[in-house]
Every structure is written in structure tokens, then in C-alpha cells.
Amino acid sequence: MPDSLTFLMGKHPAILPADVRYCRNHMWCRPGADGRHQFGFTGYAVRLMQDVYFLEWKVNDGDAVALKQEIGFIESSKAQSELYSPLAGKDIRFNPSLLNDPSAINSDTHATGWLFEMAADISGTMDAGEYYAYLEGAWATAQRILKNQVNLDDDE
């Protein structure tokens, strides 16, 4: 497999590095040898959200979380949304620098823009090829949602 795959969102590329795993809620997971895995938003998610400018956590370092449990809140130029845990496990720690300045999510999502570390079973996550196929299947729906958002914005 190449170092990364590129999913085209219209004219805009979403880079999918091959060295991470992917979750259905559009988070990447960098497996850790010690069972501590780093998570962040995929390039696809960042492109949809665009400029992230506010991030707040609703759980604390060390808390156990369930799959799809609300763990935080994010605001971007395109949306305000709750954040949900991509897996069941234990949150080890959040990226403290993002609370002061979440801009690294926009500019360096796969490195300094990581969101949190978690101890979890990552066997249900996808590799880059599987995630690419998942995006292909969901892209038509995403385009309809985006088009409706644009039409709503035009009517206001």
C-alpha cells in the first residue's frame, strides 16, 4: 500500500495516511505499542468542518467512555457539533495545547492536531483502503447534505 491515499471531495483532496487506522466517525487512530492510541480528525472531517476555532471536553483525563458517548463539543466555521467517542475505552489524556489554540486541527491534523489518547481495543477500526471505500459509499449523501446547507445559506 502507498504511504497515503487521496480521496477527492470535489476538487479538494483529503489525504488518508496509511500508517493510521480509521473510525466510522471520521477520526484517525495512531496505534501505540503500549496500548495507548492517539486519535484525531481525518482530513475528510477537517475539510467538511473547515476552520475549527473552539474545542471543549466533557470528560476528564482517565475517564472510562462508552462507544459513541459524548466526550466534547467543537465549533467551526461550518458547524457546531458534539464529539463522540470513536471506541469504548479509557481516555488517557487530551491534547492540552488544543484548548488554548485549536488551529493545529486545521493545519496539522495528523501530528500536532491530535485530539486525545485512549486505551481501547482498535480491532474494529479500518485501514486506509477500507476507510477510502467507506468514504466512497458515503460521499453522495455528504454532497446532498452540503448542497442543502449551501441552499439554506443562500435563502437567508
Which residue in the block uniquely carries the three cell numbers 457539533? 81
For 36, counting Cβ atoms within 10 Å of its Cβ (0-12 exposed, 13-18 middle, 19+ buried), the class is middle
d(CA 47, CA 132): 15
Which bin fits 62, alpha (ψ -120 to 50), beta or left (φ > 0)? left
Digit-by-digit pLDDT tens for the chain (156 residues) are 679 999 998 888 999 999 999 999 999 999 998 889 999 999 999 988 888 999 999 999 999 999 999 999 999 988 789 999 999 999 889 999 998 899 999 999 999 999 999 999 999 999 999 999 999 988 777 777 666 654 444 444
Task: Please tell me the predicted confidence (pLDDT) of residue 156.
Answer: 41
Q: Please report the pLDDT score of residue 147 as a whole number.
A: 65
Count CB neighbours of 22 within 10 A.
24
How much is the pLDDT for 15?
93
- Residue 1 has what pLDDT? 62
Domain ranges of the chain: 4-155
pTM of the model: 0.86
CA 150 to chain centre: 22
- Nearest-angstrom CA–CA distance, 138 and 140: 6
CATH topology of domain 4-155: OB fold (Dihydrolipoamide Acetyltransferase, E2P) (2.40.50)
